[in-house]
Amino acid sequence: MLWGPRPKPSRGPKPALSLDRIARAGVEIADAEGLPAVSMQRVAGLLDFTKMSLYRYVPGKAELVALMVETAIGEPPQQETVRDWRRELRDWTHRLVTVFDRHPWLLDATVGPRVMGPKELAWMEQALAALDGTGLTGSERMDAVVLLTGHVRGIAQQARAARPMGAPEKQLAAALGELMREHGERYPALTAALTSAHHSGGQDQALEFGLHRILDGLAVLITERCAS
C-alpha cells in the first residue's frame, strides 16, 4: 500500500473510499485524541462506513497507522538551490520539528521495526543529500541524520509532555526554582545556572542550542576531512 500501485478492492461494488481518505480520517482522530484513540471502528464511524467495509481497503490497524504516518509527514519541503549544508540541515530540522508539533502522535507511530513509506524516506534522502561533498563517509552522514532526528524527537517529546501547560523549559525552571528556594544550598551549581538563565533570558532555547552544537561538531569534522 505504501510503495506499489494503490490496490482496489477485489470484490464488491465500485469503491466508495480511498486509502488517502481513510488515512486522513485516522490522522484527524490521532491529532485530536492521540494514537491510542485510533481504531478501525473509529475511522469507519468518522467516514460513515462500517468497520467491515474498511477492511476491504486496509487489512488492519498496523497498515492504517503506516498510511497515517505517510500522510502526516508529507513531502519534505523544497530546499534552496544554493548549496550550504549547514543551512540546509538547520532548515530541515526546523521543518521536521513543525511536523512533530502538528502531529505529536508521530512519536509513537515512528518507533520500532516497520516499513517506511516513500515520503518519509524522502525526508532522510534530503538530509543525506545536504551532506554530499562534505567528505563525510556514508556511515557518518547516516549517523548525523539520526542525531538530528533524535534531537527533534527529544524536543517533541518535551513539548508533548508539557501540553497544555506551556513551554517545557519554563515548566522545568519553575519546578526547579521552587526546589532551589528550599534546598539551593545543596546544589550551588544548579542554583547559579538557573539564576543566570533567568536573568539572561536564556530559557526555552533547547532546540536551537542542541541544533547548533550538533552542526558545530559536524563542521569541525568536515573541516578535518577537507584538510586531510
Domains of the chain, residue spans: 19-73, 85-167+204-227
Map grid coordinates 481513510 to a residue. Answer: 22
Q: In the predicted model, is pLDDT for residue 202 greater than 60?
A: no
Summary mean pLDDT of the chain: 88
pLDDT band at residue 78 using 50, 70 and 90 as cut-offs: confident
Helices (H) and strands (E) in the chain, counts: 11, 0
Map grid coordinates 488515512 to a residue. Answer: 23
Distance CA 23, CA 57 (A): 11
What cell was used for 103?
Answer: 502531529
pLDDT band at residue 38 using 50, 70 and 90 as cut-offs: very high
Mean pLDDT of 177-188: 83
Mean pLDDT of 193-210: 74
Distance CA 127, CA 108 (A): 22
Q: Residue 48: what pLDDT?
A: 94
Cis peptide before 164 (omega within 30 of 0): yes
With 0-12 / 13-18 / 19 or more C-beta atoms within 10 angstroms meaning exposed / middle / buried, residue 39 is middle
Q: Residue 77: what pLDDT?
A: 82
Q: Name the residue among 124, 126, 108 with its Cα closest to residue 116.
A: 124
- Report residue 153 CA to chain centroid gap: 6
Q: Residue 74: what pLDDT?
A: 95
| Superfamily in which the 19-73 domain is placed by CATH | Homeodomain-like (1.10.10.60)
Domain at 85-167+204-227, CATH from 3.30.1280.10, 3.40.50.1820, 1.10.390.10, 1.10.357.10: 1.10.357.10
pLDDT tens digits along 1-12: 888 776 555 565
The three-point CA angle 45-49-53 to 5° equals 120
Q: How many Cβ atoms from other residues are within 10 Å of residue 162's Cβ?
A: 15
Q: Residue 160: what pLDDT?
A: 87
Query: How would DSSP label each residue in 146-173?
Result: HHHHHHHHHHHHHHHHHTTS--HHHHHH
Q: Name the residue among 168, 31, 20, 159 with its Cα closest to residue 105.
A: 31
Q: In the predicted model, is pLDDT for residue 93 greater than 60?
A: yes
Mean pLDDT of 110-124: 93
pLDDT band at residue 14 using 50, 70 and 90 as cut-offs: low
Q: Residue 9: what pLDDT?
A: 54
φ/ψ bin of 48: left (φ > 0), alpha (ψ from -120 to 50), beta (otherwise): left
Q: Residue 226: what pLDDT?
A: 84
| Tally of CA atoms within 13 A in the half-sphere of 190 that contains its CB | 14
Q: Residue 200: what pLDDT?
A: 60
- The answer to whether residues 157 and 108 touch, using CB atoms and an 8 Å cutoff, is no
